[in-house]
Amino acid sequence: METQLNLFSSEKNTDENVILSASEESPNVKKSFVVDASHNDSKNVKYKSLEEAKTAAMVCKKCALCNGRTNVVFSDGIENAKIMIIGEGPGENEDLQGLPFVGRAGQLLDKIFASVNLNRKEHLYICNIVKCRPPNNRAPLEEEANACSEYLKAQIKYIDPKIIILAGAVAVKGILKIKDPKITKIRGQWIESKDPLLANRKIMPIFHPSYLLRHEWNKNPDSPKAMMWKDVQEIKKAYESLTRCE
Ligand code: URA
């Protein structure tokens, strides 16, 4: 049985009804889950280019987050990246520097990907669900995520990543519209979506690096660190299989 899942629509899914049909379709993918999309308007991207989306974002006043920002944090990394990492929203350092994931969590994210020789200068494109810093580092509200969604849709369309990594529950919620994602349950799984904008991309939720910073880094195989290590290896394998096909 499959369920209906919308990208950027207001319908909610629970992660129980999203994780439905497991398939073994690639030797590199232990398990993958297919989610369906009931609306197919997500390909109707408002902006005609990434540059146009960025220009609009830089002066955006679509939600109240614009009042507290120092900088709009649009992205970092390369525009022909095969891997896009989507986080939650800028924190203090990101707001000050205008770049995503440059604080402690970002440095850890860089280390995690560097462990499999992937980095933002050569391989990754990094962005967030919202482009302006929420006050006191709170999670973005649904209306803030919705107000920002046209920018993210443009980023997905024009970067055209084959692999999308969702760092933390807010990114899972924002992209897959899962109401209350249990990141401990779905992390490390490849999710395939039939949503036109997401179709033919491998999507994997991972722990947010801030979560790892809050947990002890021990060698226990069930520790968040060990799981992240496993997940990044899986991401590297998927990346390698893409580059082998070229
Ligand atoms: N956390 C995020 O989710 N994104 C950032 O850019 C920084 C911290």
Residue 7 belongs to a domain: no
Residue 2 belongs to a domain: no
Reduced to 3 states, what is the DSSP secondary structure of residue 241? helix
What Cα–Cα distance (Å) separates residue 210 from each residue in 80, 106, 138, 226? 27, 9, 13, 15
Residue 78 belongs to a domain: yes
Q: What is the CATH number of the domain that holds 157?
A: 3.40.470.10
* Alpha helical stretches, state H, the chain: 15-18, 50-58, 92-97, 104-114, 142-159, 169-176, 183-186, 209-214, 224-244
Residue among 74, 84, 86, 88 whose CB has most ligand 1 atoms within 8 A, to mutate: 88
What residues does ligand 1 touch, defined as CB less than 6 Å away? 87-91, 94, 100-101, 103, 105-106, 128
Residue in 218, 239, 232, 242 with CA at minimum distance from that of residue 113:
232
Domain that holds residue 131: 17-244
Question: Looking at residue 217, what is its pLDDT?
Answer: 62
Residue 195 has pLDDT above 50, yes or no: yes
Residue 1 belongs to a domain: no
Mean per-residue pLDDT over the chain, rounded: 86
Cα-to-centroid distance, 37 and ligand 1 (Å): 27
**Total domain count for the chain?**
1
Return the ligand 1 atom nearest residue 208 CA: 3
Residue among 128, 151, 165, 175 whose CB has most ligand 1 atoms within 8 A, to mutate: 128
Ranking 4-18, 74-88, 204-218 by mean pLDDT, the lowest is 4-18
pLDDT exceeding 70 applies to what percent of the chain? 80
What Cα–Cα distance (Å) separates residue 220 from each residue in 209, 226, 235? 18, 7, 21
